[in-house]
């Protein structure tokens, strides 16, 4: 199995500002979705002795949403599930 990022998402940032201080929180969200493709091989024969492997692939859209904050001088990124 192999994943490839075929087009990265475009991320927008809103909220806090550089002068907001240590408690600044910025919101990140997908402005334009990205795309990833997975390629794989699967056994299509349903026979453990005489296996027949075929290539396959599938595309998935990528979306991101979460927060970025400064805590004790460290950048913290929290992604929503």
Q: What is the pLDDT of residue 22?
A: 55
pTM of the predicted model, to two decimals? 0.63
What residues make up the domain containing 47? 2-79
pLDDT tens, residue by residue, 4-44: 999 999 999 998 765 655 567 899 999 999 999 999 999 99
Dump the DSSP string for 9-41.
PEEEEEE--GGG-TT-EEEEEEEE-EEEEEEEE
Tell me, what's the pLDDT at 19?
Answer: 60
Cβ atoms of 54 and 71 within 8 Å: the answer is no
pLDDT for position 40: 97
2: three-class secondary structure by DSSP? strand
- Number of structural domains (the chain) is 1
Report the alpha-carbon angle 77-37-27, nearest 5: 20
Residues paired with residue 48 on neighbouring β-strands, in sequence order: none
Task: Measure the CA–CA gap between 1 and 35, rounded to whole angstroms.
Answer: 17
């Amino acid at each position: 199995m192999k994943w490839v990022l075929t087009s990265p998402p475009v991320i927008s940032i809103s909220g806090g500002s550089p002068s907001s201080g240590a408690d600044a929180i910025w919101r990140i969200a997908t402005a334009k979705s990205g795309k990833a493709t997975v390629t794989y091989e699967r056994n299509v024969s349903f026979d453990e002795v005489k296996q027949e492997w075929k290539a396959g692939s599938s595309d998935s859209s990528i979306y991101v949403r979460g927060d970025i904050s400064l805590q004790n001088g460290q950048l913290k990124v929290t992604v929503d599930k």
